[in-house]
Amino acid sequence: MNPFRKFLSLTIADKALLLRAWLVVAMIQLGLWTISFKRLHGFVSRQRSHGHRRRRLRSDPVRIAWAVTIASRYVPRADVCLPRALATYYLLRRNGYDGHFRLGVACDEQDGFKAHAWVECDGKPIVGDGNLEQFNCLEVPDPNRSAKDSSASDHDDSSQTLAKSRPNAAES
């Protein structure tokens, strides 16, 4: 069955969710092309549910993951883990779920360096699952921290990084 006929055979709720997922995946992909990951992740992380208005239309996390997976096939270059994970995370937060965005890295002799993004809900991966044990989770900064805490730690981190990367003046 062709994709259009499959779409027409869906329920109205699934059609609406799939269209919403497609729009979010497209916007996330556009964001990945045009702005920094830090700004895009910050925007996605600040999203909250609209409460009473969305309760009737609230989709379950597994359906959200399904919709994002299908929709990402129809957005150029979005059929990979990072746009899928960010779009799923965004839709979970907009639907009132407490999902967790994860980034992990792995390095071995056979495959070399690789990175992966996934989303967990209730402690289980719903997008980007697979052999996640091989990945070491990176701490993704929480953009919802207070600006004072964030600027102080950013300043400390950047000072330490600069100090490590600059050669001593005496050595020059």
The predicted-structure confidence for 106-147, as pLDDT tens digits, reads as follows 998 887 899 999 999 988 999 987 788 889 999 887 666 544
Please report the pLDDT score of residue 23 as a whole number: 97
Please report the pLDDT score of residue 151 as a whole number: 46
Please report the pLDDT score of residue 51 as a whole number: 59
Please report the pLDDT score of residue 8 as a whole number: 87
101, 55 contact by CB (below 8 A): no
Please report the pLDDT score of residue 145 as a whole number: 56
Q: So where are the chain's domains?
A: 3-166
Is the Cα dihedral 61, 59, 52, 48 positive or negative?
A: positive
CA neighbor of 101 nearest in space, from 48, 155, 141, 160: 141
24, 36 contact by CB (below 8 A): no
d(CA 72, CA 62): 15
In a 3-state reduction of DSSP, which class is residue 119?
A: strand
pTM: 0.77
The parts of the chain modelled with pLDDT lower than 70 are 50-57, 142-172
142, 153 contact by CB (below 8 A): no
Is the Cα dihedral 145, 148, 33, 135 positive or negative?
A: negative
CA neighbor of 136 nearest in space, from 101, 98, 100, 102: 102
